[in-house]
Amino acid sequence: MLLQPFISYLSLEKNYSPHTVKAYQNDIEEFREFCINTYEISIIDDVDYSLIRSWIVVLVNGAISNRSINRKVASLKAYYRFLQRIEKIENNPLAKHKALKTSKKIEVPFSETEMDDVLKQIAFPDGFEGCRDKLLIELLYTTGIRRAELVNLKLIDIDSYRNTIRVLGKRNKERLVPLLLSTKELLMRYLEERKKLACISDENYLFLSKSGVKIYETLVYRVINKYLGMVSTKVKKSPHILRHTFATHLLNKGADMNSVKELLGHSSLASTQVYTHNSISELKKVHLASHPRNKK
């Protein structure tokens, strides 16, 4: 089995994040485990589609969502595509596989009122953690960066002279994102609080825990859930929804799609266009207010 060369290919040539690479590895190992337990086959490099199909049936019967199953199968398909590329197999057994149907996932962004409430009305605790948590929310909302990008921000990435931050995105692609004045002011206050920490281990990183180590993604999620839960009744409250909110609010205010694409670090407009459905209500208002055929 050539799993390790495939993992190296994803990491070194495709520049996938460690999190993404691990997900591919887990999916492929899960399929291999199924083959061992069900068919006593440990080498999965040359299997036919009927065997893979039986795995998919087991997953469906296991009440796993079609979206998750499609992701697992996509990992396996990528593995076989790699084996074709290095000429270890002639045909990809998943070449003609059709993905399972999935319902369109609608993610509801926070309203402008909710964001105003959390950043202007909520009384964050005094001191380091309160200041950090408020900056964390402000930065996600005003820059649209991803949770992993925020966690990995370093002090050297901040340019207070030009009011920008340098963000290392997917596949190690760098971009510059502007800082609002309000964000910069909060950032400066946080840095002053940060200096008061008794011990700092990960001194290069911007966001730290109170024990002086780099924050982790679960902590970011908890902060978002805690404070947005105080002002919003929406079921889903996550860092990604804040990114979604950033894009939607910019589009609602007339920002062009290409600019939003660059700010988000998307490689194509297709990724950015998923946010446009949230702006349709605003477009309707403009249309009704502006078109001469609309009755006043």
CATH number for the domain including 249? Answer: 1.10.443.10
Contacts 24+ apart (CB under 8 A), 230-235: 230/118, 230/122, 231/114, 231/117, 231/118, 231/121, 231/122, 232/110, 232/114, 232/118, 234/108, 234/110
Please report whether residue 236 resides in a domain: yes
Same structural domain for residues 148 and 233? yes
User: What is the extent of the structural domain holding 35?
Assistant: 3-85
Residues 275 and 155 grouped into a single domain:
yes
Residue with tokens 């946010």: 275
Give a yes or no: residue 103 inside a domain. no
pLDDT of the residue at 286: 57
Closest CA to 117 of 98, 147, 141: 141
Nearest by Cα to 148 from 176, 121, 171: 171
In this structure, are 199 and 256 located in the same domain?
yes
69 falls within a domain: yes
Question: Which CATH number covers residue 73?
Answer: 1.10.150
Residue 179 inside a domain? The answer is yes
Boundary residue ending a domain (66, 85, 104): 85
| DSSP label of 12 | I
Of 50, 85, 120, which residue sits at a domain end?
85
- 111 Cβ contact partners less than 8 Å away, ≥ 6 residues apart: none
Q: What single DSSP character describes residue 174?
A: E
Examine the domain organization and report whether 188 and 69 are in the same domain: no
Whether residue 119 sits in one domain with residue 76:
no
Within-domain flag for 274: yes
According to DSSP, the residues that pair with 165 across neighbouring strands are 158, 177
- Is position 157 within any domain? yes
Q: Where are the alpha helices (DSSP H) in 117-238?
A: 128-143, 147-151, 181-195, 217-228
Residues 122 and 239 occupy one common structural domain: yes
Q: Mark which of 85, 103, 138 sits at the end of a domain.
A: 85
The predicted structure's pLDDT at residue 172: 82
pTM of the model: 0.71
78 and 201 belong to one structural domain: no
Q: Does residue 94 lie within any of the structural domains?
A: no
Residue 228: Cβ within 10 Å count: 23
Asked if residue 214 is part of any domain, the answer here is: yes
Task: Based on the fold, state whether residues 280 and 190 are members of the same structural domain.
Answer: yes
Within this chain, do residues 204 and 252 fall inside the same structural domain, yes or no?
Answer: yes
Taking a C-beta distance cutoff of 8 angstroms, is the pair 177, 144 a contact? Answer: yes
Say yes or no: 35 and 80 in one domain. Answer: yes
For residues 123 and 268, state if they share a domain: yes
Residue (of 121, 26, 24) closest to 80 by Cα position: 24
The pLDDT profile of the chain, 296 residues, written as one tens digit per residue, is: 789 999 999 998 888 888 889 999 999 999 999 999 999 999 999 899 999 999 999 999 998 899 999 999 999 999 999 999 999 999 999 999 999 998 766 678 999 999 999 999 999 999 999 999 999 999 999 999 999 999 999 999 999 999 999 999 887 889 999 999 999 999 999 999 999 999 999 999 999 999 999 999 999 999 999 999 999 988 889 999 999 999 999 988 888 888 888 999 887 777 777 766 555 555 566 556 665 666 65
Distance, in Å, from the CA atom of 25 to the CA atom of 19, rounded to the nearest integer, reads 10
Let me know whether 229 and 148 are in one domain: yes
Task: Please identify which residue in the block is written with the tokens 């800082």.
Answer: 179
Taking Cα atoms as reference points, which of 67, 63, 65, 40 lies closest to residue 51?
A: 40
pLDDT score recorded for residue 173: 87
Catalytic residues: 146, 170, 240, 243, 266, 275
Number of domains in the chain: 2
